[in-house]
Amino acid sequence: MDSDPEVMATLGGVRSEAGTDRWMAAQLEHWAALGFGIWIALDRDARASVAAARVVGLDEVYALTLVTNTASENVMQKLGMTYVATFDWVDQPYVLYHLTLEPHEADSLLEGGGGGGSAGEGRRG
């Protein structure tokens, strides 16, 4: 995956196998040190991923993507996430979204309902 230019276009660019190993080690160290990181839950169904976040005790979820990755941004909005900011990180422009989870929302998300009440707010401007 890390050597596929199409896949990596929104993930910081193509990496060598050694580069991927370094990147993965850094992500695992971050999790070990701080208790959070770039992964929230492993699930191909975005609703179940957010529900899993609540099941594991999280009250909030933040998500970011490159401003050019409108597909990911649309998923964030459909989940009821609210736009927070646009900012530069690693010399690339990103958007940040936020979702506050209530204890009862895990069940509703798994049943196909949206998180945070209604659909999220998109970017302004």
Percent of the chain with pLDDT over 90: 14
Q: Are residues 74 and 33 in the same domain?
A: no
The pLDDT, as a whole number, for residue 97 is 92
Residue 115 has pLDDT above 50, yes or no: no
What is the domain extent for residue 58?
Answer: 40-125
Phi, psi of 57 (to 5 degrees): 95, 10
Q: Are residues 11 and 50 in the same domain?
A: no
Q: Are residues 11 and 44 in the same domain?
A: no
Element (DSSP H or E) covering residue 40: none
**Average pLDDT in the 18-33 region?**
84
- Listed as own residue / partner, the contacts of 84-90 with beta carbons closer than 8 Å and 24 or more positions apart are 86/123, 89/64, 90/12
Q: Are residues 78 and 25 in the same domain?
A: no
| Total domains in the fold of the chain | 2
Q: Are residues 17 and 50 in the same domain?
A: no
Q: Are residues 87 and 46 in the same domain?
A: yes
* This prediction's pTM: 0.57
Q: Are residues 109 and 82 in the same domain?
A: yes
Q: Are residues 70 and 112 in the same domain?
A: yes
Give 55-112 pLDDT, tens digit per residue.
Answer: 566 678 888 888 988 988 998 898 889 999 999 977 789 999 998 877 665 555 555 5
Q: Are residues 70 and 86 in the same domain?
A: yes
